[in-house]
Chains A and B, each alone.
Chain A
């Protein structure tokens, strides 16, 4: 009963139900306690994984040597297997690590807003249960179920406040996520028809041996569906309204974690069962990723509203993740870069949405131009925004910098100069949109334009700061993350 794998899924389900019954006040406390325990479990699991196998993450071998748990004592092919390797451990740590400060943030943010908050805590619980189950699932069908759970909980959170704009954004998001998971499910069905199994470990040698056309179509469908859910350019259209319209803690959860779940799945499949089919089309995600970096950054530079700026920045930053696919080689650099970028961006984007949430909360307005004068009023929040910006720009010593360094090194090793150019221009464009906000904040406010600032809550400011500081300091712990990703013996 002390197996962390099962408890990581059960615990959020328990407290989600509890929070629903208890209501927002006591429910919040229950949720925070639950996530704290989950974080501890994730650390325990990471320690266990780190001490064990060191095969490259994502490979079939790593799934074979990973820590496993058969639910109810029924193993595959009849029962449901849970498995955790280094990549899983990193994702689990990131999820709980981002969730804990965000929930503390949300408790302060929603204080006194009973209508919206009623559903926040239960939905967050289901969302986290979905994440943890997704990262631990070892077969394609369970992955579908968990993907759907994550998607529906996320849509619910976007619609939570019930304003017309939010409902519209939520509906758009719902269509995108349903089409995406529908395509994925179709692919799973085709694969089951071809091989008679959905277990990743069993599938990998079968696809390696022989891949009929149906399997290729299945692979294509699943990839497209997941790209839609990850909001890769040009499937990004649903992301800015959904992420930019939701309340700050929800935006933070969506941008930091939800889109990473479907990316995780692409990476898993790409390096696992579909590895033999993937090489031929590896340039496609990289090209789309480059377009995402340039287009997303450009839109962020032009955005009028603060939250839209941050949301477009997510579109751009997701692009970096897709650059790794043609570079996935024996040296493991690209995989390390991808893992590092997921972690760094997760922390930084959560911090940035939280900081922007405080700014909007205190100034009462959400245009970039209204930040003027905030530097003297809310230095901690501005610092949080700046530090998160350092990570997004890929400046040292942040985790984003290490990701960029590894990515450039991987691109240079394969002579992909155009990619180096894209990565660096992306960093400079990020600097433009980050400093757009910061320089506004430093501007003196002419007296006639000075508006009243609401009182700020220190807890909110410091939680944003903690996340931002973590996104920078994680760069100094690069060794542990890389080791956990399994690329170092």
Chain B
């Protein structure tokens, strides 16, 4: 095996193996477990850095293993895969730090961190899958690995959320499976290829297969759309908010919803091929579904008093920006959608970290309880404000960059209504985030907090491990906005991907 074969495997193993070891560790081996977690997260970052340097230089990383005749377990670390891999690897490190602080003295930490590592492993597999078969394996692994995290608290309410989550995702998985097997029996393979494996096979298939390919597209998108929380498949996401804060952060910023959105990217670009998908009239319905989701999610967010639920509906809305970008036929929209995959991740994880801090430190769970929170917890509220402003698309934040590219893409594709959708959503974002900021910064302090756990020490408003991760990610939100033109920004990488995907279509 060459280094180009084992490097993708090593990236997967760097969270899988520590995860399995952690399961076996007794509950009281806190230092060993923490050390192992951090070592694994750092090792993964180092491996990902190697991959990034290699892919930028034009190296190919791939691994293949035959499971059945004609069906391979296959990985490839291409530019698109690395976009998702680096996002997950970086945020995994911060979420791990945060979780160590958050779960201090809580029971069942071995189980929690074990499944947490499995989730990251599944995310890596989804990102680097080189065909739909492999994608499906890790997609279902993600479902299974997140369930114990959602129900981690073991209350009846957690069980309800977990059951709803399973019902949605397993049913979605079944649809996805039919789509994949159908495609496999039609084409004999389901590889991810630049320009689309279906597009390449069409001359052989003939035009009468068009309806089958349309049906398969519907099944595939419905399957991954459950995790991407496209309306009306989004019902599980607000319910899954019963999970502990690090899990919500992981679910919403890194693993689950992004896995769905990423699946849509792979299906549109590398299974069907963007031009072929357009010729089958598949992109416009997808764009409409995304637009409906964007507006509906924002509208529902307006009426949530529960802070995490408001954030959850905001996620429903924001993830569909990515899908809209993909469905806008043209390289500008592609860049906007792909870069939003990263930008939405860092912004939303910041918001969830902050929501967790409010709950852990002061017992604040509701927007109506947030009066004066900014004076008691200025750093957390600063991070929260940066994340919220980013979501609205304020200048100098990451959100502004993705929104600008999406709007340019919509203009280039002559889809004026998409521009309107994006503006409407920005207004709605402002309408549900600004009242929170107003309450936190400008309203007077209440007589007592709902449930204050962690007293303030000088300007250390809460535990260090809870405070540092949101500040770092909030800094990243600003950096990704201000330095978007530098060579190593998410934007530059998204442009590289768009260039490679579109060059493959029109050589």
Seen from chain A, the residues whose Cβ lies within 8 Å of a Cβ on chain B are 336, 375-376, 379, 383, 386, 390, 393, 395-397, 401-402, 404-406, 408-409, 412-413, 420, 424, 427-428, 431, 435, 439, 442-444, 475-476, 478-479, 482, 487-488
Let me know if A406 and B68 touch, CB within 8 A. Answer: yes
- Nearest CB in chain A: distance from B343 CB, A: 31
Contact A431:B69 (CB < 8 A) given known A379-B23, A395-B144: no
Let me know if B170 and A431 touch, CB within 8 A. Answer: yes
Contact code string B130-173 (vs A, CB < 8 Å = 1, else 0): 00000011001100100110010111100100110010001101
- For the complex, is B479 an interface residue (Cβ under 8 Å from A)? no
Interface centre among A393, A397, A476 (most CB of B within 10 A): A397
| Residue total for B at the interface (Cβ-Cβ under 8 A) | 37
- For the complex, is B108 an interface residue (Cβ under 8 Å from A)? yes
Let me know if B141 and A427 touch, CB within 8 A. Answer: no
- For the complex, is B67 an interface residue (Cβ under 8 Å from A)? yes
Let me know if B68 and A395 touch, CB within 8 A. Answer: no
- The residue from A405, A428, A478, A487 contacting B174, defined by CB atoms under 8 A apart: A428
Let me know if A439 and B163 touch, CB within 8 A. Answer: yes
Let me know if B67 and A476 touch, CB within 8 A. Answer: yes
C-alpha spacing A443/B137, complex, angstroms = 28
- Nearest CB in chain A: distance from B172 CB, A: 11
- For the complex, is B66 an interface residue (Cβ under 8 Å from A)? yes
- For the complex, is B184 an interface residue (Cβ under 8 Å from A)? yes
Let me know if B185 and A413 touch, CB within 8 A. Answer: yes
Interface centre among A379, A390, A396, A408 (most CB of B within 10 A): A396
Chain B interface, DSSP helix/strand/loop, else mixed = helix
- Nearest CB in chain B: distance from A392 CB, A: 13
C-alpha spacing A386/B136, complex, angstroms = 19
- For the complex, is B107 an interface residue (Cβ under 8 Å from A)? yes
Chain B residues lying within 8 Å of A412, measured Cβ to Cβ, are 181-182, 185
Let me know if B67 and A478 touch, CB within 8 A. Answer: yes
Chain A residues lying within 8 Å of B87, measured Cβ to Cβ, are none
C-alpha spacing A479/B181, complex, angstroms = 18
Let me know if B67 and A427 touch, CB within 8 A. Answer: no
B163 (CB) vs chain A CBs: closest residue: A439
Seen from chain B, the residues whose Cβ lies within 8 Å of a Cβ on chain A are 23, 65-69, 71, 73, 107-108, 111, 136-137, 140-141, 144, 147-148, 151, 153-156, 159, 162-163, 166, 170-171, 173-174, 177-178, 181-182, 184-185
Which 10 residue pairs are nearest across A and B when measured between Cβ atoms? A396-B137, A444-B154, A424-B174, A408-B181, A478-B68, A412-B185, A395-B140, A478-B67, A442-B151, A397-B137
Let me know if B68 and A439 touch, CB within 8 A. Answer: no
C-alpha spacing A437/B136, complex, angstroms = 25
Chain A residues lying within 8 Å of B177, measured Cβ to Cβ, are 404-405, 408, 424
Chain A residues lying within 8 Å of B182, measured Cβ to Cβ, are 412
A410 (CB) vs chain B CBs: closest residue: B185
- The residue from B73, B155, B163 contacting A444, defined by CB atoms under 8 A apart: B155
Chain B residues lying within 8 Å of A476, measured Cβ to Cβ, are 65, 67, 73
A425 (CB) vs chain B CBs: closest residue: B174
Chain A residues lying within 8 Å of B151, measured Cβ to Cβ, are 439, 442
Q: Can you sample 30 A-B contacts with CB below 8 Å?
A: A336-B68, A375-B108, A375-B111, A379-B23, A379-B111, A383-B23, A386-B144, A395-B140, A397-B137, A405-B71, A406-B68, A408-B177, A409-B181, A412-B181, A413-B185, A428-B171, A435-B147, A435-B163, A435-B166, A439-B162, A442-B148, A443-B156, A443-B159, A475-B67, A476-B67, A476-B73, A478-B67, A478-B68, A482-B69, A488-B69
Interface centre among A383, A444, A487 (most CB of B within 10 A): A444
C-alpha spacing A404/B159, complex, angstroms = 29
C-alpha spacing A479/B66, complex, angstroms = 7
Chain B residues lying within 8 Å of A408, measured Cβ to Cβ, are 177-178, 181
- The residue from B108, B136, B178, B184 contacting A396, defined by CB atoms under 8 A apart: B136
B66 (CB) vs chain A CBs: closest residue: A479
Let me know if A442 and B140 touch, CB within 8 A. Answer: no
